[in-house]
Chain A
C-alpha cells in the first residue's frame, strides 16, 4: 500500500516527548483527519512526514519513498500547507508561485496554466502582481494552498488549511480536496473544527500527548467512546479526557 506510512515514529524536543511511537497509514484516495488538542503532536507529525523535522526513531514513507533517505524525492510527491504559512512576503504572488514551480521542476507552460486556474478558482487572480506583504491571513492561506497544489502532488499534508478562509473559499478548498481524494491523492488533514472533519474525512485519528488514542470512521469513534448517538465534539472531548469544560467556564468570574 502506498500513500502515507509512519511506523513507530518518535520525536522528542529537549527531552520532552512530542510524538510517541506513532504508527499511522493513509492509503491513496483517503482524507484522514488528524484531530487533537493543542500540543498533542499533530503539527510535529505532519512536519516529520514532510521531512522538515527528523524523527528520533521510526520510518516514514510517502508513495513508497523513504522521507529520511530520499527527502528530495519525497518532497516532489507531497504538497504541504503549514498551520501558519510564512510566505516570502516581499515577492508578488506570481513571483512566489514561480519560485515554487521552479523548485518542483514544473514546465513553464504548465506552470502558467496551473497558476492561473488555481488562482482563478480561489479568486486571487486579480492579485497576481501584488507583493504579498499586505495580504490578509486568508489571502496568504490561499496562496499557500495554490503552491501546495501546483505540482499535482500525490500526497497532501494540510495543517489547519481552512484557517482564515471565507465561507466561499473554504467550500472551494473542501471540494478540491474531495475531488483530489477521488483521483487517488492521500490527504492528511488537521483541523480543530470538528464539523469540517466530520463532513470531509474518510477516517479520523485522534492524537493526545503524542499518541493516537483513537482511530476510525466517525461512527467507529462514537462507539469506541461508548456514545453512539453523540456529536463528534462530545466524542472528541470524551476520548481526550476534556469533557468537564462546563465546570471550567462556571468557575470563571465573568
Chain B
C-alpha cells in the first residue's frame, strides 16, 4: 500500500464529499484544516466546562453521576460505530449510482485495499467532530471519577470502534452497489418496488433507533447486557473497557486483542468486496409495457395532458432514482417521529394526542408539501434542459410538479389524521374542520415550496444533494410557517374557545371555523400561487449557463 496515494485519495474523497454536498464548494468546512479547528473546539469547550464544573458538584449528586460516567465510557464505542454506520448508509442512499460509477478512482492505479483505507480515513475524518465532542465529555468524567488509568485504552479503543463504522460502511457500500444493481436488472419493476420498500423501512428504522426514548431504552439494555452478549464483535471494545474498569486485566487484554483482530478482518472483507464489486454498474433495466401514453387533449381533474406528463415523470423520478427514494420515506418518518413520543410516554394516549393533534397536522401540512415541491426543480439536475427545450409553459410545469406533491402530502396527512382520530376520536365535524384546514394548507404550501424551489434551485448533482439552496430553504419555511399560522388561526381560535363566545353553538362554531378557514386559506392560496407562477416564469425565461 502506498501511503501518499492513500493520503491524497482520502483528501480528495473528503473534499468531494463536502464540496458536492449541501455545504457547497465555497464552504469553509471543505478545508480539512478548518475541520481540525472545529474538532479541537468541540473537544476543548466541553472538556474545559466539565473539568471546571465537576469538582464543584456536591458529593450526593456526584454519587448519582458516577454510574452515568461509567456507563458513558462503556457504551461510547458501540455508539460511535453505530453513528458512523447510520451516517454512512444515509450518505450512500443519497448518492446517484451513475456518479459513483464514473469516479476517476475506478480507472486509476489504486488497489482495493488502498481505496478502502483512504475512504475509511476520509469518512472517519468527516465525522471526527462527533468523536472529539464525545471525548471532550467523557474524558473529564473519567478523570473526575477516578478512572484516569482507563483513558489511554478508552481513547484508542473508541477510535478503533469509530474506524469500524467507516470500514463497515465500505462493506455495505460494495454490497449495496453491485448486488442491488444485479437484483434491479433482473427484477425490473418488482426490483424498483422492492428498493422503495427496503429504503423506507431502513430509514424509518434508523430514525426510530435514534429517537431519544428508544435510544435510552436500548443503551440501558446494552449496559446491563454487555456481559451476556460478549460474543457479538460490536460489543468487544465495550467489554474490554468494562473489564479494565473492573480490574480484570486478562479479559481486558483478550477483548482488546479481539477488537484489533476484528478490525483487520473487516478491513480484509471490505477490500475483498471492493475487489469483487469494484464499482456500481448503472443498469439499463427493462420494464415490460412501459408505454403509458398520455392521450392528446385529455385531462385528469385540473391537469391537462402536458401537466399530466410532467406529473408522471415526477413520480418515476421519485420511485426510480436511488437518491430520490429517501424523500418517499420522509412522510412515514414524520408520522413515526410525531407519534412515537406520544405513544411511548406512558401517559393517557387520548389526552396526550388531543393536546398535540392540531400541532401535528399543521406541522405535517407544512413539511410534506414544502419539502416535496421545493426540491422538485433542483432534482432535475442538468436534465432541466429538457424543460427549457420543450414548449412547456410555467403554468403547465407548476401544475405538473405540484400534483405529485399534493397527492403524496394528502396521503400522508390523511394517514396521520385517521390515526389520530382512531387513537383519540373527536366529533366528526371537528375532525373535518381540522382536515379541511390541513388540505387547504397543503395546496398553499405546495405553491410556496415550488415558488422557492424555482427561485433558489440547486442543480448540483452529487452525494446527498439537497436540490434547494439554504436561502431557499429558509425563505420557503418562513413564508410557509406564516401562511400556516394564518390558515390554522380559525381552528386555533375554535380550540381555545374564542369562537364559542360568538354563541353559534357547537355545530355552528365548527361550520363557521370551516368557512373562516376557507376565506383565509383562499387569500393565502392566491398569494402563494402568484409567488409560484412568478418564480416559474423567471426560471423558464433564462437557463443558467
User: Could you list which residues of chain A lie within 8 angstroms of chain B, going by C-beta atoms?
Assistant: 13, 18, 44, 47, 50-54, 71-73, 75-76, 80, 82, 84, 86-92, 94-95, 98-100, 102-108, 111-112, 127-135
CA distance A132 to B287 in the complex (A): 11
Given contacts A90-B320, A108-B293, contact A102 B389 (CB under 8 A): no
For B199, the chain A residues whose CB sits under 8 A away are none
Contact A75 B390 (CB under 8 A): yes
Number of A-B contacts (CB under 8 A): 131
Q: Which interface residue of B284, B308, B381 has the most chain A CB atoms within 10 A?
A: B284
CB within 8 A of B382: which of A86, A107, A135? A86
Contact B286 A133 (CB under 8 A): no
Given contacts A103-B309, A134-B281, contact A53 B391 (CB under 8 A): no
Contact A105 B281 (CB under 8 A): no
Contact A131 B287 (CB under 8 A): yes
CA distance A133 to B191 in the complex (A): 15
B503 proximal to A (CB < 8 A): no
Contact B290 A94 (CB under 8 A): yes
Chain B positions 291 through 318: 1 when the CB is less than 8 Å from some CB of chain A, otherwise 0:
1111110000000011011101100110
Closest chain B CB from A61 CB (angstroms): 16
CB within 8 A of B316: which of A50, A91, A130, A134? A91
What 3 pairs across the A-B complex have the smallest Cβ distances?
Answer: A134-B284, A103-B390, A90-B320
Contact B309 A99 (CB under 8 A): yes
Given contacts A100-B386, A103-B391, 8 further A-B contacts (CB under 8 A): A50-B388, A53-B543, A86-B385, A89-B383, A92-B290, A131-B283, A134-B282, A134-B285
Contact A80 B290 (CB under 8 A): no
For A92, the chain B residues whose CB sits under 8 A away are 286-287, 290
Contact A108 B295 (CB under 8 A): yes
CA distance A88 to B282 in the complex (A): 14
B542 proximal to A (CB < 8 A): yes
Chain B positions 388 through 406: 1 when the CB is less than 8 Å from some CB of chain A, otherwise 0:
1111110000000000000
CA distance A52 to B305 in the complex (A): 23
Given contacts A103-B390, A134-B283, contact A98 B385 (CB under 8 A): no
User: Could you list which residues of chain B lie within 8 angstroms of chain A, going by C-beta atoms?
Assistant: 97-98, 281-296, 305-306, 308-310, 312-313, 316-317, 320-321, 381-386, 388-393, 540-543, 545
The chain B residue with its CB closest to the CB of A81 is B389
For A86, the chain B residues whose CB sits under 8 A away are 381-386
CB within 8 A of A107: which of B289, B291, B296, B316? B296
For A112, the chain B residues whose CB sits under 8 A away are 291, 293
Closest chain A CB from B381 CB (angstroms): 7
Closest chain B CB from A105 CB (angstroms): 6
13 interchain pairs, CB-CB under 8 A: A18-B545, A52-B388, A53-B543, A72-B391, A72-B392, A89-B98, A90-B316, A98-B291, A102-B305, A103-B390, A127-B284, A129-B288, A129-B290
CA distance A128 to B292 in the complex (A): 12
CB within 8 A of A87: which of B281, B383, B391? B383
For A106, the chain B residues whose CB sits under 8 A away are 296
CB within 8 A of A132: which of B284, B288, B291, B382? B284
CB within 8 A of A130: which of B286, B291, B390, B542? B286
CA distance A127 to B287 in the complex (A): 10
For A128, the chain B residues whose CB sits under 8 A away are 290-291
For A99, the chain B residues whose CB sits under 8 A away are 309-310, 312-313
Contact A95 B388 (CB under 8 A): no
Contact A53 B545 (CB under 8 A): yes
Closest chain A CB from B199 CB (angstroms): 15
For B286, the chain A residues whose CB sits under 8 A away are 92, 129-131
CA distance A168 to B181 in the complex (A): 31
The chain A residue with its CB closest to the CB of B185 is A134
CB within 8 A of A82: which of B290, B385, B393? B385
CA distance A100 to B310 in the complex (A): 10
Contact B542 A53 (CB under 8 A): yes
Contact B541 A90 (CB under 8 A): no
CB within 8 A of A102: which of B287, B306, B545? B306
Contact B309 A130 (CB under 8 A): no
Q: Which interface residue of A82, A94, A112, A131 has the most chain B CB atoms within 10 A?
A: A131
For A75, the chain B residues whose CB sits under 8 A away are 389-391
The chain A residue with its CB closest to the CB of B385 is A86
Contact A135 B284 (CB under 8 A): yes
For B291, the chain A residues whose CB sits under 8 A away are 94-95, 98, 112, 128-129
For A127, the chain B residues whose CB sits under 8 A away are 284
Closest chain B CB from A180 CB (angstroms): 18
Contact A98 B287 (CB under 8 A): no
CA distance A18 to B313 in the complex (A): 34
Contact B98 A133 (CB under 8 A): yes
CA distance A119 to B79 in the complex (A): 55
Closest chain A CB from B174 CB (angstroms): 19
CA distance A131 to B191 in the complex (A): 13
Given contacts A75-B389, A87-B383, contact A95 B290 (CB under 8 A): yes
CA distance A133 to B542 in the complex (A): 27
Contact A98 B293 (CB under 8 A): yes
Contact B287 A129 (CB under 8 A): yes
For B290, the chain A residues whose CB sits under 8 A away are 92, 94-95, 128-129
Closest chain B CB from A144 CB (angstroms): 9
Contact A87 B287 (CB under 8 A): no
The chain B residue with its CB closest to the CB of A136 is B284
The chain B residue with its CB closest to the CB of A54 is B542
For A76, the chain B residues whose CB sits under 8 A away are 391
CA distance A107 to B296 in the complex (A): 6
CB within 8 A of B292: which of A52, A95, A105? A95
Contact A102 B296 (CB under 8 A): yes
CA distance A52 to B539 in the complex (A): 10
CB within 8 A of A72: which of B317, B383, B393? B393
CA distance A203 to B486 in the complex (A): 63
CA distance A91 to B313 in the complex (A): 8
CA distance A206 to B174 in the complex (A): 49
For A94, the chain B residues whose CB sits under 8 A away are 290-291
CA distance A39 to B286 in the complex (A): 39
Closest chain A CB from B437 CB (angstroms): 35
The chain B residue with its CB closest to the CB of A134 is B284
For A134, the chain B residues whose CB sits under 8 A away are 281-285
